Structure 1
Amino acid sequence: MAGEVVYLLRVETTESDPFAEALRAAGYRPFVLPVLSVVWCNTEQLRAVLARSEAYGGLIFTSPRAVEAVRRLGSLPEAWRRRPVYVVGPRTAAAAQALGLQPRGEAAGSGRELARLILQAPRPERPLLFLCGARRRDELPALLRAAAFPLEELVVYDTRPSVPELPAEVPDWVVFFSPSGLEAARRLPIARERVRVAAIGPTTAAALQQEGWPVAAVARTPTPEGLLAAMQEATNLS
């Protein structure tokens, strides 16, 4: 419905938010709330493993922040551009492409879907390097290890809750972009029974439902278009 106020519970960023832009163009009034701050981890260890491209069969990224951890180190050794690179979602794919990589899995909406894609590819002789956050879900590594697929993980960032200044407008919608946003939401004066809740994907939706948040809309793809379509569909059904 035009004019509805939407809180987007996001990780802090200095860039414009494409989800807010898409919602604003559709007539909503979005507010980006930076409820999570990023802390970079294991920077020197990351630098060391990236210098040893010959030891790995490829890379896995499940978030743009993991790609950002690599970008912060400067130029990537050329050999990585010849390795398979697997990603979840178009934003992570775009971030990887900006590094000169050729990612696969843009259409994957979750770690589970990406794991299935990886398992269909030829098994590498060397482990894939999974660069992830400290709060990463178990789905992808569990599925790969269950299939005896060679994998090495390195945590390159963490997120910590922060309490942003809230706008005066009371929300009609609250959008969650990760399960870790739940911890931050507990600190905000949001009456869950008075708002409609949207999740960026099934993993986040499951975490919300487990904690008793009624989920009205789940994006079929983790994109601005996917979120907008899910919210509009939920509004039309109500």
Structure 2
Amino acid sequence: MAFTGVVLLFKGDQVDPSDSYLTALNNAGFRTFHIPVLQFTFVNQEPLTKALQSAHKYSGIILTSPRCVQAVENVWSFKIYEHWNERKVFVVGPSTARAVRDTLHLPAEGEETGSAEALSVLIARSLADQVNPKPFLYPASSKASPNNFSGIPVERITAYETEECVDLRSLEQVSSGRIVCVFFSPSGVKAVLPELRRRNLSFKSIAIGHTTEEALKREQQPVDEVCESPSPEALKKCLKRICRGKRRCAIS
């Protein structure tokens, strides 16, 4: 029997019909809605440009999301590319790696990591034989944890500000039936959870990564599954486990 409920993806700032998660889940038989929860404003473009023009000062650059890549792309040029082509580029997850390859035309390491914590381990290994390594440039969200990459020399520049901006009108059509909510970030948890509770909706929760898991736990929200890597395939596995747990669907 097919899954008869809905999957709500709380992520990003706009609905993208070609979103890899949306496409993969719909193709797998899950009725899926993408609900934007945030809006972004790019800031500090001049300091970021100056930093990118001084690639010799850095061991490399750390990019934790496609939005970070977009912030860099906004000030990117061929002259900057020539210098960074010889530096290490570390990323979190396949979508960020793909953005780096497609827009900055640089190779990336860390595609298999699903969190800043996991990427920190990879970066630390790369620095193991260096005595006084140069810092990594780290363009970040205004809401990124100050503890990200602790123990690794970084020069952090806030490249974009994140604000809550949730339009939950589409929830009107899913007010009943089985609901699985997928939270992609702590910001999304903060923006969405109060409204879900106000509507008294019953739902299962999936967290993308352990940072988001901790955000849900702080709000006393049960976490049914944790997606270990930020990829559609990993999310499909989580959904299938939820299905098997209730024995109400069987999607292969």
Same fold (TM over 0.5): yes
Conserved 8 A contact 2:37-2:165: yes
Counterpart contact for 1:35–1:163, Cα < 8 Å: yes
Aligned-pair CA distance for 1:72: 1.6
Compared CA separation, residues 231 and 139, structure 1 to 2 (3 A):
farther
Choose from 222, 229, 237 the match for 1:229. Answer: 237
Question: Do residues 83 (structure 1) and 87 (structure 2) align?
Answer: yes
Measured in 2, the distance between the counterparts of 1:7 and 1:14 equals 12
Moved more, 111-120 or 157-166: 157-166
Match of 2:65 among 63, 66, 74: 63
Cα distance in 2, alignment partners of residues 7 and 32 from structure 1: 6
Q: How far is the alpha carbon of 1:14 from its aligned partner?
A: 6.1
TM-superposed deviation, 1:231 = 1.4
Identity of counterpart residues, as a percentage? 34
Cα distance between partner residues in 2 of 1:222 and 1:86: 15
For residues 158 and 48 of structure 2, the distance between their equivalents in structure 1, rounded to whole angstroms, comes to: 9
Q: Which 10-residue stretch deviates more, 175-184 or 193-202?
A: 193-202
Aligned residue pairs: how many? 233
- Determine the structure 2 residue equivalent to 1:147: none
Which of 112, 120, 142 lines up with 1:115 in the alignment? 120
Q: Tell whether 2:133 aligns with 1:132.
A: no
Letter of the 2:119 counterpart: L
Match of 1:188 in 2: 195
What TM-score does the superposition give when structure 2 sets the normalisation length?
0.86
Q: Matches of 2:20 and 2:193 in 1, distance apart?
A: 25
For residue 216 of structure 1, what is the aligned residue in structure 2?
Answer: 224
> 1:7-44 CA deviation, whole Å, 9 max, x = no partner?
11111136421111111111111111111111111111
Superposition deviation, residue 87 in structure 1 = 0.7
Whether contact under 8 Å (1:5, 1:31) holds in the other structure is yes
Structure 1 runs not aligned, ≥5 long: 145-149
Larger mean Cα displacement after TM superposition, 154-163 or 187-196: 187-196
- The answer on whether the counterparts of 1:112 and 1:143 sit within 8 Å (CA) in structure 2 is no
2:166 counterpart of 1:158: no
What is the one-letter code of the residue matched to 1:4? G
Q: TM-score, normalised by structure 1?
A: 0.91
Provide the alpha-carbon RMSD of the alignment: 1.8
Q: Which has the larger radius of gyration?
A: 2
In structure 2, the CA distance between the partners of 1:74 and 1:152, relative to structure 1 (3 Å rule), is closer
CA contact (8 A) 2:189 2:212 kept: no
Stretches of 4+ moved more than 6 A in 1? none
| Residue deviations 1:41-71 (CA, integer Å, cap 9, x gap) | 1111111111111121100011110001011
Name which of 200, 209, 216 aligns with 2:208: 200
5+ residue gaps, structure 2, are: 247-252
Q: 1:159 to 1:34 in 2, by over 3 A?
A: same
Q: Which amino acid aligns with 1:117?
A: L
**What is the Cα deviation at residue 141 of structure 1?**
2.5
